[in-house]
Structure 1
Amino acid sequence: MGGSRNLVEDEPTSMIYKGQFFPTKQDLKRLIVHFAIWQNFEWKVKTSNKTTLHLICLMDNYMWKLRAVMRDEGTYFQVRSFVNRHTYPLEEIHRRHRQTSAVIIREIVAPRLQQQYGRLIRPKDIIADMKTMYDIQTIYSKAHQTLDYTLSLTYGTHEETFQLLPSFGYVLEQKNPDTITVLQCDKDGKFLYFFISLVHNLEDSRDVYLQLLSLMVPI
C-alpha cells in the first residue's frame, strides 16, 4: 500500500503511480506533499470531498495533475490518473512551498534530529537543512514550531517532563549518596526551579567532586 513506506528515503519517481492504493485520503495527500518537495513544485486542490481528490499544478494551464477516488468496497483511495509532467522550468516555482507544514518538515528532519542526540538543535539548523537539502525557504516561526513538535514527540511535553522530576530526583539520590535534590513550586503548584547538589565519587580516586546545578525555569 502507498503511504506505508519511508517517505524520506524513497526516490520521487517511485513514490506515486497510476493504480496505487492508499488507506485514506490523508495518507495520499501526505505522500503528495513529500513528492512536491522532492521535485520542487507546488500543487493546489481542484476538487476534494469524501470520495474524490483532484489536484492540479499551482501554475495555471500546466499539465501536472492527479486524480484519486475512493473505492466502492471500502475507505481506500486509488490513483486513477496521474500526469507527472511539468511544461515550465521548476526554478520558477516559489521556494517557500505552502505544502511544507511543521509536521511535514518534522518528518524530513527527524532522522537528523535523532542522530544529533545530546546536541542542541536550533530552528536555524532546520532552516539551513531545508535550504541545503531541498532549496526551500522556511520561515523561523515554522522551524520553531517543527522543533517544538519534534521534541514533544521524542521527550514528551513540558507538563509530562515536569511529572517525572520527583522520580528523577529520587533515583538520583538513591544512586548517588549525599546528593540533594529540591523541586520547588509556587503556591499554585507551578514549577519554579529544580535544584541538584550532586556528589559523584570516581573510582580509583580519593577526591570527591562536588557539582552544583541550580536550574530556574519559570513557566
Structure 2
Amino acid sequence: MRTVDMGRDTNLRDHLFAATDVHQNLEHDDMNHAPSSPVNNVVETGNFDDGPAPVDDMLDDPFNGTNVTSIADVDPQMSSQLIRSGTDQWITAVDISDPVERQIFLSKKELYSKIHLLALQDKFEFHVSRSSHKMLTVACVDRNCKWMLRASSVKLTSIFMIRKFNHVHTCSVDIRRNAHRHATTSVITEHILRKLDNPHRLYDSTAIARDIECEFGVKITYQKAHRAKVAALHMLHGTPGDSFQKLPSYCHVLGERNPGTLTHIEVDSHNRFHYFFLAFGASVHGYMRYLRPVICIDGSHLKGPYKGTILLATDQNANKQIYPLAWGIVDAETNRSWMWFMSNLKELIGDFAELVFVSDWKNSIFNAIAHLFLQSRHGYCI
C-alpha cells in the first residue's frame, strides 16, 4: 500500500486507477445484420439500386452540389469545424425532421439513429438489406412497399450521405404500427441527450418513459428508460471509471487554484484507487481563524457502481450552520480507514488541549482518536 501526496507528486501515469469494470446492461444495435423479426416480411430488396454510386464517390469535393440547408443533426461545435471546399462559407447545421437526398451525417451511427427515430415517428418497421463500412441500405419490412433509403460514405471520410431516398410508403396500414422493436436503449439515449444536458432540469426515468410515449406513441419500461438515462449521462460526463482516471489532475488543479488545499490519494498493490482525502484551503483557513475547535466526525455509505464510504469532519459556524472541514473516500469504516483519515486531519489542525471531537460510539473512531490525538478530548453522541 502506498500513498500519493498530490502536493508533491502530480505526474501520475494515466493508468493510475484501473477501476473495476462495471458491466452496463445496455442494448446495442447491430448495423451489419438485419433484425430478426418479423421474419415473414423480411426479404432482400433486390429491386432497389443499392450498388455503389460511382459519380458521387469520385467527387473531389464531398459537398459539391449539396444544399447546406440539408445538413442535419450535426453537432454545432463539430459543424463549425467543417468548411465548404473552395469557399470561406461555414456549413450550418439545421434540424430537419425527415431525411432528404444528399443530406449528410457525421457518421454511420448517427444516420442509423436518425432512421430509427423516423421509424418510431412514422410507426413503421424496416430491415437492413445491405450494410458495410461504406454502405447502408434499409427498406420497409413489407416486400411490396417501395420505401427505401440508401447511403454511402463520402470519399475517404466517415461522413455518410443519403444517395437515394424513397419516402413514400405503399405498404398496408396493418404493417405500420407502433414499432416497439426500434425503441432500443441506444436510440432513446441519443434522443434524450439534449434534455439531460440541462443543469436546471430534473429529468428522471419516469419522465423519460412518459415523453417517449407522448412523442412516439411507444410505451417503454422504467428499466429501459433508466438504462438509457445512464448511457446518456456517460456520453455527456463520462463513466465513473473515467472520473477515477481524472482524479490526479483534478487534485493538481485544486492545489493551484486553492492555496493551502491538502489532497492525498492512496492506491493498493495493484495500483488501483483505495483511499482519498480532501480539505480545501479556504475551509482550513476559516476554521483556524474563526471557528471553535469542536469537530464532528462521522461516515456514511455511498451509492453507485463502486460503493464505498465517505468520512466527514465538520464544524459549526456562528450561525449554527454546518461548516465542512475535510472529507475522505474509503472502502468501509474500519480501524485502518479511520486511522488513515484522522492522520491526514491531524496534519491539518494539529493536536492541542482545547480540541474536542464529537462522534458516535463506533470503536474504530475511538481507537483512531485515542492513538493520534493524545491531548484532545472526545465526546460521544447519545
Q: TM-score, normalised by structure 1?
A: 0.68
Residues 91-129 of structure 1 deviation map (CA, whole Å, 9 limit, x = unaligned): 942341x3333232123222332336474x432221112
Match for residue 279 of structure 2?
A: 170
Is the aligned partner of 1:56 residue 2:139?
Answer: yes
Check 1:49–1:70 CA distance in 2 against 1; reply closer, same or farther (3 A cut): same
Q: CA deviation at 1:89?
A: 3.3
Q: CA deviation at 1:198?
A: 3.8
Is the aligned partner of 1:93 residue 2:177?
Answer: yes
Provide the C-alpha distance between the structure 1 equivalents of 2:206 and 2:242, rounded to a whole number of angstroms: 26
SS in 2 for 1:143: helix
User: 1:66-105 counterparts in 2 under 5 A?
Assistant: 66-70=149-153, 73-75=155-157, 76-87=159-170, 88-89=172-173, 92-96=176-180, 98-105=181-188
Is the aligned partner of 1:10 residue 2:92?
Answer: no
Match for residue 132 of structure 1?
A: 214
Residues 22-79 of structure 1 deviation map (CA, whole Å, 9 limit, x = unaligned): 44433322322233233232211011124432110133422211122345x4345432
Between Structure 1 and Structure 2, which shows a larger proportion of helix residues? Answer: 1
Give unpaired runs (5+ residues) of structure 2. 1-70, 77-93, 252-262, 264-275, 333-382
Amino acid at match of 1:102: T
Match for residue 231 of structure 2?
A: 149
If asked which structure has higher relative contact order (CA below 8 Å, sep 6+), I would say 2
Structure 1 stretch displaced more, 21-30 or 134-143 = 21-30
Match for residue 193 of structure 2?
A: 110
Indicate if the aligned counterparts of 1:181 and 1:194 stay in contact, CA closer than 8 A: no
Q: CA deviation at 1:2?
A: 4.7
Check 1:90–1:68 CA distance in 2 against 1; reply closer, same or farther (3 A cut): farther
Aligned length: 203
What CA RMSD, in Å, does the superposition of the two structures yield over aligned residues? Answer: 4.1
Is the aligned partner of 1:207 residue 2:319?
Answer: yes
Q: 1:37 aligns with which of 85, 103, 120?
A: 120
Give the % identical residues. Answer: 20
Provide the C-alpha distance between the structure 1 equivalents of 2:319 and 2:192, rounded to a whole number of angstroms: 44
SS in 2 for 1:115: coil
Match for residue 379 of structure 2?
A: none
Provide the C-alpha distance between the structure 1 equivalents of 2:103 and 2:213, rounded to a whole number of angstroms: 31
Provide the C-alpha distance between the structure 2 equivalents of 1:112 and 1:160, rounded to a whole number of angstroms: 23
Indicate if the aligned counterparts of 1:169 and 1:181 stay in contact, CA closer than 8 A: no
Provide the C-alpha distance between the structure 2 equivalents of 1:90 and 1:5, rounded to a whole number of angstroms: 37
SS in 2 for 1:4: coil
Indicate if the aligned counterparts of 1:197 and 1:210 stay in contact, CA closer than 8 A: no
Match for residue 192 of structure 1?
A: 308
